[in-house]
Structure 1
């Protein structure tokens, strides 16, 4: 651990001391000449350096730490292409609401306007995809810049921050004291008049509906939500990223997750609503025109930041501040509600459909396997000591709609940028943050190959991960949409890979499923393996068009 009573030897050491003071436990990255002094300083700190195999994946890992802990995860990369490999990870973190800080090495200050090796205007590169992007321009500004970047990443609706570290300043004598890690201002409760007005709107509404977003799935917020529902039962829907916010006792009020295509039970409930209360919701999760196209519903916006006004999203009341405290204040003024016959019918039909799926999905046979067969077996494994990380692809929709979760941030889903390749890096981070959990990560064969090199990282770290690959040799989510729009696919096919052999070659334990009757035993064997395992499953996506059709859940099988 760094000795904070001793003057820092250089700018790099002062950067690391600020990270330590902020409670940073891991730094994910790839070294290089412009930033190697920071990596060297990390060796004398309490922070564990996690060497990644690609900078974008280091950013994904940092973002996942942010989502699971609420504290910024940190990525550290070198100049030039080291930095230019980061924007996807930062754009993902910012649109997903995940606090993270990226530190990038850059050329010495005197050379930044010259055409020299790896010169790049990184501050401009990252401004569009972060909440904060700055370069340290003086040794005396090291602590100030790092502290402000961390504060920006974690405040309001969290997101990405970037700081450029000039090579000369990292090696030069440092000035100034550590500023990061100080007390962060806490949000409070909205003004009493606003809370009272919101309560009156809910009490007088015929059919109010709660719409949960990503921030509703933070542990404190989900606990407050559950208390509110126990006191005042209201119908609830959630975006994909709100997974886990509603617990088992309130599950009968939950109309499921909505996203992409407006054809779910939750969409039907929103169409019948005269008032929608959004909680921790951002429009990037599910655009307002998808659920309020006629702009006819009154809206209460409950969040840490003000609403982004839209033709279809113009709140009547905004409760800004601490989400949990505002839910508690609101609950204290709500009168018990009785579900309308329309809402009761939607929820009753959905309950019947869930029972139908629970009975019939496990019985689906054949090879390749039906998506709901795989989801049903994953559901059986998703206990309270399991965290699941889901990549982007057709499988993402099947899991988001049909796999239930009752624990805050148990199910991590990408929906802001819908970024491919996040599952395995997220899983590595989750295994560090939640070392007693078994981590399940899920991808398609397309998305897996965008970050599969990190399987070596998982092996090196001994991560307790089971990675499940749905195989169809195609970018299927693109294909089904092309088929619907143009009547044919284009640019979506690729060749097969022996993923069992691939996993074994990386030092993980590979498994392959060839028929439906092998699935349960194979998944359980992979779950029992301590360390990284990979399960390759051929999937039959013939029913994917049903995902875009107006069908009840029970009609999917």
Structure 2
């Protein structure tokens, strides 16, 4: 090969740079060596993960954290299969990401070649688009199309297949410029209709979540709600659109939600949903707010309203950014009339999130501690802009309910219930915002699905505080099991390693907490290691199997 020529792999990297990509998350493979060659010596950081699932989760988390597509690169067959867990998460959560997958040479197709697979067949139902680069001259064009598809409308994952022979060929095209993404808009007629409905309401409610938010739009929507005294409910695992301490915040819907938030969501005579939709989880399995006469104004940039349920009074085709601009300064003049309605939700949120009320409620077995004590000690020491990451399982409710998310973005979690997300997402957040404290709240089962990415955190100098709740079981499934088949425990018990020893093997600081008296010191020392010494730390909390939920 003449290295003075630009091959298609180099054109892909040059296109990523034009799109503002600062880093890619990768597990290397021989199928995309030309792209790795293109990354050599560039300003784009290549973050080498230890598993394709971890790399793809990092890219998905980057998409959530920044609003810009996270980029992952994996090899064919097994690599693509391992990355698919994050593709499903990005699809259900509406997260922008682009997955580049090395493929077999074009001439080897349909011959059961080594690690051959059909990317369209595998990902066609879980990605917004699936591209395969068959012409080297289209390399840059396809990158631009992939980024546009990932960001536009309802965001989501896009797959780009890269045959290993095609990306080595000379690129003779031009580097494509990014395609602008529309934010939508609210027409004067739509704004008047919404203003009239809200002004006449007795129990208005705002419901927020989803993607396409920015710090400015989150602050503007909070100001709109506060100015008018309208309570705000937040989607499950998306509790950072309105500050935790805001007087309009009534908490989150979905798993682990408070009764008052669900009641107010169902009772509201006018619902204004911004970014989020009344989907399965916030509606308690399509049971809340299903009245055919319910008044629901849905602000969503998704033309299909995918996943929504219940009545649609009006669909305002706008992102949270465009809607925030439309309601800037809007004053409905009814704040005092709604004060009792708002205060009902806010006071319930305060009561539900008062961690001190959950401390030492019951005795635990010898050698175990209360998760509530550890979380309480942590919360007392958190900086205002701390970031919380979590995967899936009962342990996440300790973070969802009590961890103060006062800045957007400050929570990274999967809304599709995917495990193994907490550590990779913490790495992604730490790389993007190294000045912030990143806390991963993990379950014992969840942690071991991608805990190896602590090695990646160490390699790239990302100090993470991991809190591992160890009750030696898959507690969520155990709870369902006891509900449906009481007393017949099957397939949910775990025999765990010494997580603190594992952390020390990753050259991090480690603590093991086996009693409530050890919690304060362990948290203090762990935070000192992370924030003072810039070392990752892990607190291994041994808990009683009987107490998995607050």
Common fold: TM-score over 0.5:
yes
Partner of 1:144, secondary structure, is helix
1:375-524 aligned at under 5 Å gives the runs: 375-415=375-415, 417-487=416-486, 488-524=488-524
Partner of 1:394, secondary structure, is coil
Partner of 1:214, secondary structure, is coil
The CA distance in 2 between the partners of 1:353 and 1:397, in whole Å, is 11
The CA distance in 1 between the partners of 2:210 and 2:368, in whole Å, is 34
CA contact (8 A) 2:270 2:296 kept: yes
1:72-471 aligned at under 5 Å gives the runs: 72-180=69-177, 182=178, 184-215=180-211, 218-247=214-243, 251-260=246-255, 264-282=259-277, 283=279, 286-287=282-283, 289-306=286-303, 308=305, 312-330=309-327, 332-337=329-334, 338-339=337-338, 341=340, 344-352=343-351, 354=353, 357-358=355-356, 361=359, 368-415=368-415, 417-471=416-470
The CA distance in 2 between the partners of 1:359 and 1:168, in whole Å, is 62
1:22 aligns with 2:19: yes
Q: 1:538 to 1:43 in 2, by over 3 A?
A: same
Structure 1 vs Structure 2 CA RMSD: 2.4
1:13 aligns with 2:10: yes
Task: Note the alpha carbon deviations across 1:4-53, whole angstroms, 9 max, x for none.
Answer: xx985211111111111111111111112111221122113211111111
CA contact (8 A) 1:391 1:447 kept: yes
Following superposition, the deviation at residue 248 of structure 1 comes to 5.9
The CA distance in 1 between the partners of 2:545 and 2:398, in whole Å, is 10
User: Under a length normalisation based on structure 2, what TM-score does the superposition of the two structures give?
Assistant: 0.92
Q: Which deviates the most, 337-346 or 406-415?
A: 337-346
1:539 aligns with 2:536: no
The CA distance in 2 between the partners of 1:188 and 1:373, in whole Å, is 46
Greater helix share, structure number: 1
Following superposition, the deviation at residue 384 of structure 1 comes to 2.3
Task: Note the alpha carbon deviations across 1:354-383, whole angstroms, 9 max, x for none.
Answer: 55x435638988552333323323322432
The CA distance in 2 between the partners of 1:485 and 1:123, in whole Å, is 39
Q: Aligned pairs, how many? A: 537
Q: 1:77 to 1:502 in 2, by over 3 A?
A: same
Partner of 1:86, secondary structure, is helix
CA contact (8 A) 1:232 1:331 kept: no
Following superposition, the deviation at residue 60 of structure 1 comes to 0.5
Following superposition, the deviation at residue 331 of structure 1 comes to 5.2
Report the counterpart of residue 61 of structure 2 in structure 1.
Answer: 64
Following superposition, the deviation at residue 254 of structure 1 comes to 1.6
Q: List alignment gaps of at least 5 residues for structure 2.
A: none
Following superposition, the deviation at residue 303 of structure 1 comes to 1.9
Partner of 1:75, secondary structure, is strand
Partner of 2:154, secondary structure, is coil
Partner of 1:452, secondary structure, is helix
The CA distance in 2 between the partners of 1:216 and 1:451, in whole Å, is 27
Q: Which deviates the most, 11-20 or 390-399?
A: 390-399
Q: Which deviates the most, 332-341 or 152-161?
A: 332-341
The CA distance in 1 between the partners of 2:353 and 2:442, in whole Å, is 24
CA contact (8 A) 1:391 1:423 kept: yes
Following superposition, the deviation at residue 285 of structure 1 comes to 5.2
The CA distance in 2 between the partners of 1:262 and 1:429, in whole Å, is 27
Q: 1:428 to 1:489 in 2, by over 3 A?
A: same
Q: 1:61 to 1:352 in 2, by over 3 A?
A: closer
